[in-house]
């Protein structure tokens, strides 16, 4: 390798310079082609699938085991646990569990406001709140159940969760104060912005 002239330092005859430049250009083009061919992602799994010889190292799971998983909660109420709660009980829970971040009356603080919100959403400074923006009440239950309060998430009972949701919905004029909220009731709440979303189904590509 030491015999190779270092381009640009060693004097190279004009003809050789031309040839070297041609080879250099060819090399660069090849590098470019390689780069282009790499644009299409390799389909590594295809061969394994065609051969029918995937490793198959998963354990089967029994229905009893699956029943221990927290069910996904859908807008129609599917997955909601049994239980119920009144807004009055929710108010007390809110004060101890939520008010320090969301404000004493749900007006917001270091966490988003949960009560009220100025419409319409076409305003230059649109207010995207539970009342003005959220399309489903079940999402509120699910979010609180899985992630609130942040210091100790996932520990509120179903009755506590229904009570909290009852209070928040009552404050927003979406649930009566004297009616216990349960799975059927929660799924029946029609949020004001229910029809405000355009659901896309993107294909993988342009």
Partner 1 sequence: MDVICPDATQNAPRRGAMSPFLDRRVFLRRGAQLALALPVAAQAGPALAAASDAGAIDAHGAHTDPGPATLDAPSQGVAGAGFSNYGMPAAAERRVIRLTGSNRDVPGNGVSWTPLESLEGILTPSGLHFERHHNGVPQVDPQQFKLTLHGLVARPLRFDLAALLRYPLQSRLLFVECGGNSNAGWHAEPMQKPAGSVHGLVSCSEWTGVPLRLLLAEAGVDPRASWVIASGLDAAATEVSLPLAKLQGDALLALYQNGERLRAENGYPLRLILPGWEGVTQIKWLHRLEVTDRPVMSRNETAQYSELRPDGRADQFTFVMGPKSLITSPSFGQHLPAPGVYEVRGLAWSGHGAVAAVEVSADGGRNWSLARLEPPVLDRCFTRFRAAWRWDGKPAVLQSRVRDTHGNVQPGRAALVAERGRNGYFHYNAIVSWAVDADGVLSHVYV
Under rule CB under 8 A, residue 206 binds partner 1: yes
Under rule CB under 8 A, residue 204 binds partner 1: yes
**Binding footprint of partner 1, residue count (CB under 8 A):** 66
Under rule CB under 8 A, residue 13 binds partner 1: no
CA distance 20 to 13: 10
Half-sphere exposure of 110 (CA within 13 A, CB side): 5
Q: Pick one of 1, 6, 69, 178: the residue that binds partner 1 (CB under 8 A).
A: 69
Handedness of CA 137, 127, 154, 171 (dihedral sign): negative
**Region from 84-92, 103-111, 157-165, 175-183 binding partner 1, contact rule CB under 8 A:** 103-111
**Region from 89-97, 126-134, 160-168, 182-190 binding partner 1, contact rule CB under 8 A:** 126-134
Under rule CB under 8 A, residue 39 binds partner 1: yes
Backbone phi and psi for residue 195, each to the nearest 5 degrees, phi listed first: -95, 10
Backbone phi and psi for residue 85, each to the nearest 5 degrees, phi listed first: -160, 150
Under rule CB under 8 A, residue 82 binds partner 1: no
**Region from 38-46, 80-88, 157-165, 178-186 binding partner 1, contact rule CB under 8 A:** 38-46
Under rule CB under 8 A, residue 189 binds partner 1: no
Q: How many CB atoms lie within 10 A of CB 65?
A: 10
SS3 156: coil
**Region from 89-97, 149-157, 165-173, 177-185 binding partner 1, contact rule CB under 8 A:** 149-157
Decide if 140 contacts 130 (C-beta within 8 A): yes
CA distance 126 to 164: 26
| Residue 114 CB partners (closer than 8 Å, separation 6+) | 98, 102, 103, 106, 108, 129, 130, 168, 171
Locate 158 and state its tokens. Answer: 């179903």
Binding site for partner 1 (CB under 8 A): 31-32, 34-36, 38-42, 44-45, 48-49, 54-61, 66, 69, 72-75, 100-101, 109-111, 120-122, 124-126, 128, 130, 133-136, 138-139, 142-143, 146-147, 150-151, 153-154, 196-206
């Amino acid at each position: 390798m030491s015999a190779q002239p270092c381009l640009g330092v060693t004097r190279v005859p004009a003809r050789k310079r031309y040839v070297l430049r041609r080879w250099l250009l060819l090399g660069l083009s090849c590098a470019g082609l390689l780069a282009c061919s790499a644009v299409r992602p390799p389909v590594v799994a295809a061969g394994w699938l065609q051969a029918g010889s995937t490793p198959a190292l998963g354990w089967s799971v029994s229905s009893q085991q699956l029943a221990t998983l927290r069910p996904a909660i859908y807008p129609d109420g599917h997955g909601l646990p049994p239980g119920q709660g009144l807004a009055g009980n929710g108010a007390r829970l809110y004060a101890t569990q939520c008010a320090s971040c969301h404000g004493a009356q749900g007006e917001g603080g270091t966490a988003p406001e949960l009560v009220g919100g100025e419409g319409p959403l076409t305003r230059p400074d649109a207010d995207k709140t539970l009342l003005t923006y959220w399309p489903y009440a079940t999402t509120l239950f699910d979010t609180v159940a899985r992630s609130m309060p942040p210091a100790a998430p996932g520990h509120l009972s179903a009755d506590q969760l229904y009570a909290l949701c009852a209070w928040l919905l009552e404050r927003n004029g979406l649930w009566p104060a004297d009616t216990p909220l349960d799975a059927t009731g929660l799924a029946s709440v029609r949020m004001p912005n229910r029809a405000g979303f355009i659901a896309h189904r993107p294909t993988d590509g342009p």
